[in-house]
Amino acid sequence: MKLIVALMSLLLSLSVADAAEFYSHNGSLMRVDLTQGRGVAIYYERPRKSLARIGIRPGQVLFEGRTNGAGYLEGMSRLFSSRCGEIDYFVYGDFTPGRPFRLDGVMPVRDRSTCAIIDNVHTADTPSGSLVFTPASAPEPSRQAQTRAPSSGLACVTRVRPGSTLNMRAGPSTAYGVVAEIPANDCDVEIGPTCRGDWCGVRHQGPQGSVGWVNTTYLRSR
């Protein structure tokens, strides 16, 4: 317990360094998270209505990859289908945080009846195939989000797809490294009294008893 208290005190003393950027992409609002290890993840912050109808929700991952720190980004993007599910494919492109960017790759084409891959096409050769991102303003928090995001007490992980995890970080932003991962729908998250914006110090009451920071956008009261 003394170790947990000491670690929590150290984590709560860290300063804020927000490394999230917001972009518009094909009618959806996206959030681009950057980590100190040059990792890049792109999430749906506010999916357009047609995507919401096929099950895409805020927090859904579109892309995960890495940048070389010199203006190049590569990784795996996802295609979504209400009937066939999702499938990954490799994309790449020039990337500078805060500026427009485009990712291209060889995209699989699936049979509408069997969902089997029947062809591959380069995204640049397909109308609207390229993944184009344009800087956008950060969204204003909705009243619903404000009431559902807990600031203390016990909470459950939400808005994280089944089988995936929520990152617990060493400080109150995605600029800090990941210290632990909390499974989707886990309800053993204890939120501490100190928060920085949407981030709060937490302790996961799992086997490891991990302590760190979590964005409360992905938590709901238990």
Contact 22, 31 (CB under 8 A): yes
Query: What are 100-150's pLDDT values in tens digits?
Result: 999 999 999 999 889 999 999 999 888 888 999 999 986 665 444 444 456
Mean pLDDT of the residues in the chain: 82
The CATH number linked to 72 is 2.40.128
Of 70, 105, 135, the one marking the end of a domain is: 135
Give the mean model confidence (pLDDT) for residues 206-218: 83
Q: How confident is the model at residue 75 (pLDDT cuts 50, 70, 90)?
A: very high
Q: Which of 89, 115, 135 finishes a domain? A: 135
* Interval 28-50 mean pLDDT: 87
For residue 159, give the CATH number of its domain: 2.30.30.40
Dist CA 47 CA 58 (whole Å): 7
Q: Are residues 90 and 164 in the same domain?
A: no
Same domain, 105 and 167: no
Residue that terminates a domain, selected from 107, 135, 163? 135
* C-alpha to C-alpha distance for 178 and 152, rounded to whole angstroms: 21
Q: Are residues 124 and 179 in the same domain?
A: no
- In terms of domains, do 207 and 177 share one? yes
Q: Examine the domain organization and report whether 131 and 145 are in the same domain.
A: no
Q: Is residue 6 part of a domain?
A: no
Domain residue limits at 177: 141-221
Per the structure, the count of domains in the chain is 2
Q: What is the mean pLDDT of residues 174-188?
A: 87
Taking the CA atoms of residue 4, residue 159, residue 39 and residue 128 in that order, the dihedral angle to the nearest 10 degrees is -170
Residue 62's pLDDT band (boundaries 50, 70, 90)? very high
15 falls within a domain? no
51 versus 141: which is more confidently predicted? 51
Instruction: Please report the pLDDT score of residue 150 as a whole number.
Output: 66
